[in-house]
Amino acid sequence: MRGDDAGMQLIPASFVVTRNSRKYTSTIFWAIGIALIGLVGNGMSQAPQLLLANSLTLLIGVLALQIFSGNSGILSFGHVGFVGVSAYTTGIMSMTPEIKKASLSSLPVVLQEISLPFPVAMICGVVVATLVGVISGLLIARLRDSASIATVGILIIIHGILVGAEDFTRGSQTFFGVERFTSVPVAASVAIIALIVARWFRDSRVGLHVRASRDDVISASSAGVRVQLSQFKAWVLSAAVAGGMGACYAGLLGAFSPKDFYFTLTLTMLTMLIVGGSGSVAGAVIGVALVMAVIENLRKLGDSIGLFGLTNAGLAVIILLTLYLRPKGIMGFHEPEEIAAFGGDAPTLIRQDLPEDLTSASEEVLSVTGLTKKFSGLVALDDAKIFVQRGKISGLIGPNGSGKSTMVNCITGVTKPNSVVINLGPIQIHKEHTWQRARAGLGRTFQNIRLFRNLTVLDNVVVACISAGESVKSADKSALALLNQVGVLHHAYRFAGELSFGDQRRVEIARALALRPSVLLLDEPAAGMNPAESEALLAQFREIMKKANAGMLLIDHDVTLIRSACDSLTVLDHGKVIAQGNPEQVLSLPEVHAAYLGWGDEPSNDD
Amino acid sequence: MNRKTGPLKVSKTIAGLSAIMLLAACSSGASDAGSSDEAAAPAAGEACIVKVGVGAGQTGGLAYADVPHLEGFELWAEQVNANGGVDGKFTIETIVKDSRSDITQSATVAAELLAQDISILITSADADPTIAAGALAQAEGVTAVSWFGSAPIVQLAAGDHVFSNAFGDNTQAKVLADHASEMGYQNAYTLASPDSSYTKMLPVYFGEAFEANGGKVVGAGNFSMGQASFSVIVDEIKALSPAPDVIMTPAYEPDFPTFIKALRGAGITTPVLGTDGIDSPTTLALADIAEGVTYTTPGVLKNEGVMGTFFTDYNAKYGKDPETIYAVTGYELGLTLEAVVKQAQSCDADAVWQAWANLEGAQGITGKISYKGGDGMAIREIALIEIKNSERSLIGTFSPDPATVPKAQL
């Protein structure tokens, strides 16, 4: 933070490295586990070996799903398509020319003569799956609510291509001749790589941003998260990992056709992810292990007593139980090592010198002019304007429905106005996206608090620090300092959703501050607080503003608060600015009284 | 989540799960351990148990075919064992494992069964799982037979130990083509779908056989399985010049009814040839629209003659009439195995394979069944049925010379 590095020191160094140590602990633990399975499995007889190799192969695919669906919250039905593409590619690249001449006679000559070693062929599979991921990702990232449905389309399209590309795939006929190279150690090795990728992605800059967008797209954008790009990156990475599964699958099956890469496999993998918990790598592992264990045991039981169908009944039961008892899956949104770490002591800071007062001379940091917004016939804002100066609090009041929230949404870019000019300091931002405005220095809080409820308090702020250009490591430090500044440092490792209302509000402010804003836009920050709390909050605002050297736009109903807090005041009524200037003067104007008439001095705050 | 109890709960869960996993792994280990005792195989002619491993889809997408096959087969096994086994000394032991119609699971159950020293492995009525499981059997020198997978590629893809109880799609197409030539048709239109091997390849084989007979394929259309309307295709057929004398399609439900309704609705009365996929009550229920439709099938499911005896026995065991010809072909796989064991006079997997590959003229219910000289597909009689007054009417049964059948295409 500006000026903070010099003045502050964090003591328990362990907390600074915690994210990394958690990451290392987790990957080492799982990697050793899988490696052991690989070693032990290698000595088993054929049937358990096939079972293990199959489970590990599925694990790779479920981890791929975890990377995208788990982190972004968008359920993907399309990943099995990448698995298929990679399986065929691996097959074509690894088969001997003799076999290809017999089974794939129409294959282009170049491909017919290629016969690569398995690892190279597998990499080819991953590369092709990644390319398909890039192409499909361009589409998926543009969609928000319909993205999940679109992934179904992607599966259907890829299936259609596999069926149609007869020269390469033999169409709907069985593709055969791939050597069965996927032994337990091969599947285990790829699974370990997939696991490391998935776990590292979780705590990466992009991973944290994608997870923020999972909880709340709008507040993620307002925290500077480039949602589309982050989701695109997650999609492509997960396509590559799904390609890893395809490469193993080809060598596991030896013979397959497009129907093997369709809805049945998709549903199996999604079941595993949902049962284990999509929000964590551990969930993917547990999901695969549990579902495979249930399938195997019930199948064997069913076979021995002649009661077939027990498996499907059992699967249905665990899905229902999971959805009923643990809707987020067995592991929920958190890794076990995170839960363990977060149960420990909260971090503390020793020395905290106040940074020097940076408040510079009054300068306009935000100017909004000519703001008009029409919702079909209704004019919500009519040529409205508002200005914020550095180091000053600019207030905005108005009765319910006067357009305050619309104005905030237009300024932050959540809503697109019909016309407006917005200057943030010297730069024009009204053509920018929400995330760009956030990164340019427009920090905000929401009227009804919008934190990333399933991220820790710390990560809520880290997300914004990353948007401001910090590395994850330095973001951790900055975020702790900011949490300290707003007085919620002791909650750093709790999940945001668990905090009290007031503390959540403080975290939201810390998150806004993490953007190093030149303007803080606070939408009814005192809503739901009693006068004493509002007063305390106000004092804190002034302090914060001073340190951040920002201007503040404060929207509230509470005339008392506004009167004592603001340096200037704007009154909105029916979308029009009816008064602007010194709060005392403005509030004494008869038209302002008229606007509030019937509402009294304390209007309800359910704007 | 409650922060205090959270970690404990989770670790408990993990512990529980690990235990389950362990159990699963152990039980699979145990079932294999018991089978590795390689007892000295009895010499040829001595009494022994023919262990039949069935790893097919008792549940899932292939159960519609795999389950009735197993019912027919178990009826046969029960009858044989009631007589003291094949030749009074080779008793049948059937071990059934559910592959859940899943390709990887098919391989896993095949491996489990192979670890139990089976004499023969039976697989699903589909090429993919048959190849996956058959390749494992091939490696162990055990015969693998598909309940009724009809794509004639099993041996090419998985090896010479892999067979199918079904006639190949190419043979079926040959019977239709011969019938078309017999009827004096000159020009044919074929309607295929790239969506499955069956719907894709049958018209190809038909065209090849029909042109070898001197006919000509004047048009070939494609449909998507499950497509809502066939009006474009019907218009295409209407516009053909010369107009086709016959239309051949392997479409089945729901495509066949949609197609034939559209075709007849457009006033096109050209005869239609179909394949065994339409041998169902749905086709008969089309009444006038399906009148004259001719198709191939393994046999006519009718409670009379030899099959009448099967009906009686089946009803006695299961308390219902067989609903599909697959129960009959399942029973016939038993009869085939009976002929093989009689020939081999052994339960040894290799002896069974030798006898299977050289089997000639085993008596089934629908006709004689051979494997010798074939490509792994059963060489069996194919019934040609014409729908008359909404009833199946048998035109005749045919067993084309393998040498004249179009070669299986990879």
Q: Which of A173, A295, A309 sits opposite B151 (nearest CB)?
A: A173
Residue A93 lies in a domain: yes
Cα separation, A243 vs A236, in Å, equals 10
* pLDDT given at position B222: 94
A73 and A163 fall within a common domain: yes
Residue A135 lies in a domain: yes
Retrieve residue B131's tokens. 């190849």
Closest CA to B142 of B348, B349, B356: B349
* pLDDT given at position B341: 97
Out of A438-442, A538-542, B157-161, least confident range? A538-542
Question: What is the nearest CA distance from B352 to chain A, expressed in angstroms?
Answer: 23
Q: Please answer yes or no on whether B108 and A311 come within 8 Å at the CB atom.
A: no
Side-chain-side CA neighbours of B354 within 13 Å: the count stands at 10
By three-state DSSP, how is residue A476 classified? Answer: helix
A369 and A223 fall within a common domain: no
Q: Please answer yes or no on whether A296 and B24 come within 8 Å at the CB atom.
A: yes
What is the residue range of A124's domain? 12-262
Smallest CA–CA distance from A256 into chain B, residue? B128
Looking at chain B, the whole-number percentage of residues with pLDDT higher than 70 is: 89
Over residues B145-161, mean pLDDT: 92
Retrieve residue B400's tokens. 């084309």
Residues 34-73 of B with CB under 8 A from A: 36, 58-61
Highest mean pLDDT of the ranges A117-131, A382-396, B147-161, B366-380: A117-131
Closest CA to A466 of A474, A458, A457, A456: A474
**If you average pLDDT over every residue of chain A, what do you get?**
88
| Model confidence at B4: pLDDT above 60 | no
A172 and A201 fall within a common domain: yes
| Model confidence at A346: pLDDT above 80 | no
Cα separation, B376 vs B358, in Å, equals 11
| Model confidence at B143: pLDDT above 90 | yes
Query: What pLDDT, in 10s, does the model give residues A411-459?
Result: 999 999 999 999 998 899 999 999 999 999 999 999 889 999 999 999 9
Retrieve residue B300's tokens. 């006519």
Q: In total, how many domains does chain A have? A: 3
Looking at chain B, the whole-number percentage of residues with pLDDT higher than 90 is: 71
A110 and A155 fall within a common domain: yes
Smallest CA–CA distance from B32 into chain A, residue? A45
Residue A285 lies in a domain: no
Cα separation, B204 vs B177, in Å, equals 11
| Model confidence at A197: pLDDT above 90 | yes
Question: What is the nearest CA distance from A291 to chain B, expressed in angstroms?
Answer: 10
Cα separation, A25 vs A2, in Å, equals 33
Q: Which of A105, A295, A303 sits opposite B97 (nearest CB)?
A: A303
Q: Which of A475, A496, A516 is the last residue of a domain?
A: A516
A523 and A499 fall within a common domain: no
Interchain CB contact of A257 with B (< 8 Å): yes
Residue A249 lies in a domain: yes
Through-space distance between the first and last CA atoms of chain B, rounded to whole angstroms: 57
A60 and A166 fall within a common domain: yes
Query: What pLDDT, in 10s, does the model give residues A482-529?
Result: 998 888 988 998 889 999 888 999 999 999 999 999 999 998 888 777
Residue A267 lies in a domain: no
* pLDDT given at position A334: 86
Residue A116 lies in a domain: yes
- Cα-based distances in Å from A435 to A214, A408, A417: 15, 15, 17
Has the ipTM of the complex gone over 0.85? no
Q: Which residue has the tokens 């019912």?
A: B71
* pLDDT given at position B7: 42
Q: Which of A229, A244, A262 is the last residue of a domain?
A: A262
Looking at chain A, the whole-number percentage of residues with pLDDT higher than 70 is: 92
Residue A355 pLDDT grade (very low, low, confident, very high; cuts 50, 70, 90) = very low
| DSSP 8-state symbol, B365 | S
A422 and A507 fall within a common domain: no
A259 versus A540: the higher-pLDDT residue is A259
Q: Do A248 and A58 form a contact (C-beta atoms < 8 A)?
A: no
Q: Do A251 and A200 form a contact (C-beta atoms < 8 A)?
A: no
pTM (predicted TM-score): 0.87
Rg value, chain B, Cα: 24
Residue A332 pLDDT grade (very low, low, confident, very high; cuts 50, 70, 90) = confident
Question: What is the nearest CA distance from B240 to chain A, expressed in angstroms?
Answer: 26
* pLDDT given at position B20: 53
A534 and A460 fall within a common domain: no
| Model confidence at B32: pLDDT above 90 | no
One-letter amino acid for residue B255 of the chain: D
Closest CA to A178 of A248, A111, A102, A91: A91
Residue A337 pLDDT grade (very low, low, confident, very high; cuts 50, 70, 90) = confident
Q: Which of B7, B21, B103 sits opposite A289 (nearest CB)?
A: B21
A409 and A421 fall within a common domain: yes
Task: Give the CATH number of the domain where residue A397 resides.
Answer: 3.40.50.300
Over residues B391-399, mean pLDDT: 91
Retrieve residue A159's tokens. 């299936």
* pLDDT given at position B34: 38
B318 versus B38: the higher-pLDDT residue is B318
Out of A290-304, A547-561, B318-332, least confident range? A547-561
One-letter amino acid for residue A455 of the chain: L
Cα separation, A359 vs A174, in Å, equals 73
Which residues are CB-neighbours of B334 under 8 A, at least 6 positions away? B72, B73, B75, B76, B77, B80, B92
Residue A344 lies in a domain: no
* pLDDT given at position A3: 40
Q: Which helix (H) or strand (E) holds A604?
A: none
A492 and A577 fall within a common domain: no
Q: Do B380 and B364 form a contact (C-beta atoms < 8 A)?
A: yes
Q: Which of B4, B31, B151 sits opposite A174 (nearest CB)?
A: B151
Residue A604 lies in a domain: no
* pLDDT given at position A394: 94
A511 and A521 fall within a common domain: no
Retrieve residue A165's tokens. 């590309």
Task: Give the CATH number of the domain where residue A185 resides.
Answer: 1.10.3470
Query: What pLDDT, in 10s, does the model give residues A148-193?
Result: 999 999 999 999 999 999 899 988 888 988 999 999 999 999 999 9
Strand order in the sheet with B379-380: B362-363, B368-370, B379-380
Interchain CB contact of B19 with A (< 8 Å): no
Q: Do A193 and A272 form a contact (C-beta atoms < 8 A)?
A: no
Q: Which of A479, A499, A516 is the last residue of a domain?
A: A516
Cα separation, A332 vs A235, in Å, equals 21
Rg value, chain A, Cα: 28
A456 and A557 fall within a common domain: no
Residues 136-175 of B with CB under 8 A from A: 136, 151, 153, 156-158
* pLDDT given at position B55: 96
Q: Do A166 and A13 form a contact (C-beta atoms < 8 A)?
A: no
Closest CA to A128 of A97, A165, A90: A90
Residues 171-210 of A with CB under 8 A from B: 171-174, 176-177, 180
Cα separation, B220 vs B204, in Å, equals 9
Query: What pLDDT, in 10s, does the model give residues B69-100?
Result: 999 999 999 999 999 999 999 999 999 999 99
Q: Which of A105, A311, A332 sits opposite B100 (nearest CB)?
A: A311
Cα separation, B304 vs B312, in Å, equals 10
| Model confidence at A32: pLDDT above 80 | yes
Over residues A320-347, mean pLDDT: 83
Q: Do B207 and B170 form a contact (C-beta atoms < 8 A)?
A: no
